[in-house]
Amino acid sequence: GENVEQHPSTLSVQEGDSAVIKCTYSDSASNYFPWYKQELGKGPQLIIDIRSNVGEKKDQRIAVTLNKTAKHFSLHITETQPEDSAVYFCAASPDSNYQLIWGAGTKLIIKP
Partner 1 sequence: NAGVTQTPKFRVLKTGQSMTLLCAQDMNHEYMYWYRQDPGMGLRLIHYSVGEGTTAKGEVPDGYNVSRLKKQNFLLGLESAAPSQTSVYFCASSRPLAGGYNEQFFGPGTRLTVL
For partner 1, give the closer residue by CB, 83 or 95: 95
Residues 36-65 contacting partner 1, CB under 8 A: 41-46, 49, 51-52
**How many degrees, rounded to 5, is the angle at CA 76 between CA 90 and CA 100?**
15
Q: Does 104 bind partner 1 (CB under 8 A)?
A: yes
Binding of partner 1 by 93 (CB under 8 A):
yes
Give yes or no for residue 2 binding partner 1 (CB under 8 A).
no
Q: Does 88 participate in binding partner 1 (rule CB under 8 A)?
A: no
Could you list the beta-strand ranges (E) of 3-69.
Answer: 4-7, 10-14, 19-25, 32-38, 45-51, 56-59, 62-67
In whole angstroms, how close is the CB of 91 to partner 1 at the nearest point? 8
